[in-house]
Amino acid sequence: MGILRVDQVELKGKRVFIRVDFNVPLNAQNEITDDTRIVLSLPTVRFVSGAGGKVILASHLGRPKGKKEPKYSLSPVAERLSKLLEKRVALAPDCIGEEVRNRIEGMKEGEILFLENLRFHPEEEKNEESFSKALASLCEVYVNDAFGAAHRAHASTVGMTRYIQTVSAGFLMMKEVESLQKALANPQKPYVGILGGAKVSDKIGVIQNLLDKVTTLLVGGGMAYTFLKAKGFEVGKSLVEGDQIELSLHLLERAKGKIKFLLPFDHVIAERMDLQAKRGIVSNEHIPGDWVCLDIGPETVRIFSEEILSARTIFWNGPMGVFEMEPFSQGTFAVAKAVARSSAFSIVGGGDSVAAVNQAGVADKIGHISTGGGASLEFIEGKVLPGIEALRKDG
């Protein structure tokens, strides 16, 4: 890769800025509902602290749009981090400024200071030069462990690296890149790609790239209905992107004779998206005009599971239905369990897919759970991720 890993860098006594992605989901009570991203970056944080580095952690949370909003404070993350590390993690009042600098100057080796939300400053997302320099001035060593933000050219992921001599990747970042590379460079066959989620338009680049890589592509979720509509099926009130029908036809034609491109054969339908609504199971040919498809049906689960269990490599992004609602979760959970039972090297990326394997209780049986939904998709598309490129230094 031409990128230094954090354990290849002198850390003792150094001020070490670690860009993490602790953009975790919070409920209405401001409680963390899934701390996967925090847990997976702990090895990097522990290593730098244990090596005598003065750890400066930085992340964003939510979309405060450049304003200091209390509901987007990283305070609950600092509390969870303290518990996980069994070590006090202080939260700074800001991410730049004199008070932050004074706090850093007073740090001892191994101590951890967590900077407040980077996105409280509009300059972060704009990758503004003076803000990048201000962040860079806080440290002597830069470590990027935020794969989930690697597709963003922001001040903390790209800009500040220009003003720091020693830059490196954390353990999570390296694991993400190496694991996803297995799905791109000579993956073991049969290779099964599984795509779900709402829209074809969100996954066009991924589909196009996977058509040249996979043996079988399984498509579920809302995006399947644009493809089914393109094939001439009536799909009732199910989600359809009318402006993507022609492209969907083109993709189906491109797949012919080359790979298996499998769409759902049957569906869990409802009169409306409501827990109390009437429900049923129908085949493609019998979707009522005024009902909506909200999950894949049992025959689709059986066929998809057979393909998954025959695989040697699996990449999955996106749920098979509205899995947040219990009556429409079974297809997604069945796919999660099939991926877990498979002996293939499996990669699961995207917040909903990761939530599904966690809720299905099979996360420990997945080869690699990616912390970056958008980043993992862009990587699989074959795009250059600016946050990774910024770690490549000459010499």
- CA distance linking residue 211 with residue 348, whole number of Å: 18
CATH C-level class of 183-381? alpha beta
Q: Name, in order, each residue with C-beta under 8 angstroms of 295's C-beta and a sequence gap of 6 or more.
A: 267, 268, 320, 321, 322, 323, 327, 328, 329, 330, 331, 332
Residues of the chain with pLDDT below 50 are 395
The CATH 3.40.50.1260 domain(s) of the chain lie at 6-174, 183-381
Q: What's the predicted TM-score (pTM) here?
A: 0.89
CB 134 within 8 A of CB 162: no
CA–centroid distance for 217 within its chain:
20
Ordered strands of the 54-58 beta sheet: 90-91, 112-114, 54-58, 15-19, 141-144, 166-169
Among 5, 46, 101, 199, the active-site one is 199
Task: Give, as one character, the DSSP assignment of residue 5.
Answer: B
**Under DSSP, is residue 19 helix (H, G, I), strand (E, B) or coil?**
strand
Among 62, 365, 374, 393, the active-site one is 374
Q: Name, in order, each residue with C-beta under 8 angstroms of 187's C-beta and a sequence gap of 6 or more.
A: 213, 312, 313
Residue 71 a catalytic site member: no
- CA distance linking residue 84 with residue 32, whole number of Å: 13
By residue count, the chain amounts to 395
Strand pairing report for 313-317 and 112-114:
unpaired
| CATH fold of 6-174 | Rossmann fold (3.40.50)
Residue 170 a catalytic site member: no
Distances (CA, A) of 204 to 200, 225, 227, 247: 6, 15, 12, 9
Other residues' Cβ atoms within 10 Å of the Cβ of residue 140: 17
17 pairs with which residues across the strands?
A: 56, 142
- In this prediction, residue 1 carries a pLDDT of 52
CB 369 within 8 A of CB 362: no
Other residues' Cβ atoms within 10 Å of the Cβ of residue 166: 16
Task: Give, as one character, the DSSP assignment of residue 330.
Answer: H
Peptide bond into 190 cis (omega under 30): yes
- CA distance linking residue 152 with residue 15, whole number of Å: 24
Residue 199 a catalytic site member: yes
Among 15, 19, 37, 54, the active-site one is 37
Task: Give, as one character, the DSSP assignment of residue 193.
Answer: E
- 125-173 residue pLDDT tens: 999 999 999 999 999 999 999 999 999 999 999 999 999 999 999 999 9
Residue 62 a catalytic site member: no
Q: Name, in order, each residue with C-beta under 8 angstroms of 12's C-beta and a sequence gap of 6 or more.
A: 51, 52, 53, 109
Helix or strand run (H / E) with residue 304: helix 298-309
Among 351, 372, 373, 387, the active-site one is 351
- CA distance linking residue 147 with residue 169, whole number of Å: 10
Helix or strand run (H / E) with residue 307: helix 298-309
CA–centroid distance for 374 within its chain:
6
- 355-394 residue pLDDT tens: 899 899 999 999 999 988 889 989 988 899 999 999 997 6
Q: Tokens in use for 11?
A: 């850390």
- Count CA atoms closer than 13 A to 192's CA, side-chain side: 25
